Amino acid sequence: MATIETPTPRLRPRQPGPRRPRDRGALIRGVRRNTGAYLFLVGAIVCFALFSWYPMIREVIISFQKVNIAGQSNGWAGLQNYRRVFDDPQFWSSVRTTALFAGFALVLGYAVPFVVAVVLNELRHAKAYFRLLVYLPVMMPPVAGAFLWKWFYTPDNSGLFNSVLHDLHLPTSAWTQSSSSNVAVLCLVLFSTWINMGSGVLIYLAALQGIPGELYEAAELDGAGILKRVWHVTVPQTRLILSLMFLLQIVATMQVFLEPFILTAGANNTVTAVYLVYQYAFSYGNFGGAAAMGVLLFAVLACFSGAYLWLSRRGNEE
């Protein structure tokens, strides 16, 4: 029996209809409804323009100019300011000190908060008390904390650390006034780790609490101890947070200023890059050289910041 095929109707292309006139009333109502949001946005843009974008642009311009101590430009200097900075032995000494500080900070300031977070996460009692105890230094003003530790580091027996060592019949130390720059820089890192550790611990705790408990249970059934659970479960599960905190730690340590400014006043080879920028501008009156150093530091930090943003975007996609 032959089947009769019915032709399928062809759909005509839809003709674009006449455009509707724009409802100006709806547009006005939308603007009025979001007026508060627009005002907040304008305020944020103005603040960024005045206190972030304009100083950065102004710094780049000053780095190519001859600027006197009054802040007045005496013409263009080209790359002369950059040549003076590269020819200054203090610049390379500050780079070494900053690198040394960053190295010590990656060992202490980066590793210690993670270890403390793991220990707090394993506690069964008094969790809130120990978390508050760890976070207390963050709530202290940094300048007050620096002066407190300056008393701790007093080289005679009136300082806290030397007083304890003296009572224990142990040899005392000159601490920040030591002839060894490594010891002085290490003292700065200890203070920086103490006062900034609380924020890192909270971030690590948030990441640790997001790890499924089944992974730890499976590791325990396989006979894994605490160290193996941390290495094979905790570290892989917090890989992204560890990478981001590593980059943030580098960016923060390369901008260290408060610690050498208050604790050592730049003595014993503890002048960091940012502290040298301060000395160039306000001690030597060389604003062009200070701006050139600031631009160089900005370029280095921009590379690490770009890596941080790339890792953040990659983590969101995963």
Residue 84 falls within a domain, yes or no? no
Residue 5 falls within a domain, yes or no? no
Of 189-193, 232-236, 251-255, 267-271, the range with the highest mean pLDDT is 189-193
CA distance 63 to 65: 6
Residue 292 falls within a domain, yes or no? yes
CA distance 260 to 275: 8
Residue 28 falls within a domain, yes or no? no
Structure tokens at 10: 């062809």
Residue 76 β-bridge partners: 65
Residue 63 falls within a domain, yes or no? no
Rounded mean pLDDT, 168-192: 88
Q: Are 297 and 120 in contact (CB under 8 A)?
A: no
The sign of the CA dihedral 71, 77, 83, 87 is negative
Region of poorest pLDDT, from 30-34, 40-44, 69-73, 211-215: 69-73
Q: What pLDDT does 6 receive?
A: 52
Residue 182 falls within a domain, yes or no? yes
Q: Which stretches of the chain are assigned E, i.e. beta strand? A: 65-67, 73-76
Chain segment 182-235, per-residue pLDDT in tens: 889 999 999 999 998 988 898 999 888 888 888 888 888 877 777 888 888 888
Domain count, the chain: 1
Mean pLDDT (the chain, rounded): 83
Chain segment 87-126, per-residue pLDDT in tens: 999 999 999 999 999 989 888 888 899 989 888 888 877 7
- Largest Cα separation within the chain, whole Å, is 114
Give the structural domain span for 165: 93-317
Residue 67 falls within a domain, yes or no? no
Q: What pLDDT does 9 receive?
A: 53
Q: Name every residue whose Cβ is closer than 8 Å to that of residue 247 and which is 6 or more positions away in sequence.
A: 304, 305, 307, 308, 311
Q: Which stretches of 134-292 are assigned E, i.e. beta strand? A: none
Q: Are 100 and 185 in contact (CB under 8 A)?
A: yes
Rounded mean pLDDT, 271-286: 89
* Top-confidence residue, 126 or 175: 175
Report residue 13's pLDDT band, with 50, 70 and 90 as the boundaries.
Answer: low
Report residue 39's pLDDT band, with 50, 70 and 90 as the boundaries.
Answer: confident
Residue 76 falls within a domain, yes or no? no
CA distance 105 to 101: 6
Kindly report the CATH number assigned to the domain that includes residue 194: 1.10.3720.10
**Residue 305 buriedness (CB in 10 A; 0-12 / 13-18 / 19+):** middle
Place of tokens 């590379």: 303
